[in-house]
Amino acid sequence: MSQAPPVSTPSSASAPSSSALGHRDFRIYLIGNSLAMMADSIEHVISYWIAFQKFHSPALGGFAVLSHWLPSLFFSTLLGALADRYDPRRLVQIGMGLFMLCSAAWSVLFLTDSLQEWHAVVLLVIHGCAGVFWGPAGQVLIYDIVGPKQLPSAVRLMATSRYLGLLAGPAVGAAVMLAFGPSHGLMLNVLFYTPLLFWLWKAPYGPRFRKGDAIKRVAVRGLADIISTARAIAGERTIMTMILLSGAASFLVGNAYQAQMPEFGHDLGHGDAGIAYSALLAADAAGALSGGVALELLGLKPQPRIAYIFAILWCCAIGGFALTGSYTLSLLLLFAAGFLELSFNSMAQSLVQIRAPDAIRGRVIGLYSMAGVGLRAFSGISVGLLGDVIGIHRSLSLSAGLLFAVLSGLYVFLLPRKGRIPPAPG
């Protein structure tokens, strides 16, 4: 087995968690990414709702999960390799353009009442491809913008903002759908992508703006990059354990329950797109907001064991939501799920980004995305397609229970004893 390259860590003592916010361009980038992630979720909320009302197909909801995440499973490492070698700004812009195209197309189809299932299938696939262009390249840009000294702070803030945008989207999407209707709401949604798209056009970051000694770039080798990157980081225990954590959570549960939320709302007695249903969608966002604030106020450093504990508790919250018939308890459990999901995902992503070797930073981020994002495709089978057979309540509760067992086993048998893994810098 080849020896792992040296791991890059910030060169100074730990920076305050807010230090990256003092960087003007990072603030712009942070806001632009948050808006884009929110727009991504808004499109899901509106398109999932209309598709459910028109087709009443849990199988289509399961396909929505598959099509959204399979491109990340197959191409995240490749796109990460391209971000190592070429200008990551342009890859992000391609992703933004595809997102805008999808929102506009959904809007026209809803407005003309011409939506058919094959339309939904095509748009869901395009949307999934847009996400893989954005993901690894967007993370590589963080290092270009703030540099090594502020990297820990920037990674924490970006991870938190991205999950806040992802989880706030359902609440905003429900409000937009109520205020403007599905078609006009999606046309408005196109505008949320434009700030990041245009700022990146002239932003002074990327390969030709990097100072100091040039980093030797590894040639792009397609699928072979997955194996070579895994070998290169095999000696970095923290990265490997975080990839396993994120991959297991995505494979078995992911965010598949979001695609099935219309049916959950219906079964709880709130199937209309009103305030009660919107509150279900907003519960995750409120929990995530609380989680982000708590992480910043407490200054809790990302550590593997804490990330695993949060993930195990998340399984309990999701399983409880699947089994309860109480609307009030469902809100509380979704709030807890949002809090815990943001906490363990932001910790895992921070640990991977901080410890990634410079020369293959994009590849490492791509490998993490392949596990943490791409494997969500299979949660569409375990929750969505299986839910078509045994019901979504049973399928989600079974998936959460199995994940609980897997993560508990990894926690006991894989993580080394306390003190063996050093905490992340910063």
Query: How far is residue 81's CA from residue 97's CA, in Å, rounded to a whole number?
Result: 21
pLDDT of residue 292 exceeding 80, the answer is no
- pLDDT at residue 248, rounded to an integer: 92
CA 351 to chain centroid: 15
**How long, in residues, is the chain?**
426
Look up the CATH number of domain 19-209+220-413.
Answer: 1.20.1250.20
pLDDT (tens digit, 9 = 90+) per residue, 294-345?
876 776 777 889 999 999 999 999 999 989 888 889 899 999 998 998 889 8
| Cβ count within 10 A of residue 169 | 26
pLDDT band at 11 (very low <50, low <70, confident <90, very high): very low
Q: Could you give the 3-state DSSP secondary structure of residue 265? A: helix
Query: How far is residue 15's CA from residue 268's CA, in Å, rounded to a whole number?
Result: 46
pLDDT band at 373 (very low <50, low <70, confident <90, very high): confident
Q: Where are the domains of the chain?
A: 19-209+220-413
- pLDDT at residue 16, rounded to an integer: 42
pLDDT of residue 158 exceeding 90, the answer is no
Region 47-58 average pLDDT:
77
Alpha helices in 147-223 (DSSP H): 151-180, 182-189, 194-202
Query: How far is residue 423's CA from residue 426's CA, in Å, rounded to a whole number?
Result: 9
Burial class (CB in 10 A: 0-12, 13-18, 19+), 326: exposed
Sorted by sequence, the CB contacts under 8 Å of residue 131 that are 6+ apart come out as 40, 68, 71, 72, 95, 373
Query: How far is residue 347's CA from residue 337's CA, in Å, rounded to a whole number?
Result: 15
Query: How far is residue 248's CA from residue 245's CA, in Å, rounded to a whole number?
Result: 5
- pLDDT at residue 10, rounded to an integer: 38
pLDDT (tens digit, 9 = 90+) per residue, 175-209?
887 888 888 889 999 999 999 999 999 899 887 77
Enter the tokens of residue 127.
């949307």
- pLDDT at residue 42, rounded to an integer: 86
pLDDT band at 276 (very low <50, low <70, confident <90, very high): low
Which DSSP symbol is given to 420?
S
Query: How far is residue 38's CA from residue 72's CA, in Å, rounded to a whole number?
Result: 19
Most confident of 168-172, 236-240, 261-265: 236-240
Nearest to 71 by CA among 293, 370, 346: 370
| Cβ count within 10 A of residue 202 | 7
- Regarding predicted confidence, which is higher, 150 or 363? 363
Query: How far is residue 128's CA from residue 75's CA, in Å, rounded to a whole number?
Result: 11
pLDDT of residue 223 exceeding 70, the answer is no
pLDDT (tens digit, 9 = 90+) per residue, 111-137?
888 888 888 889 999 998 998 998 889
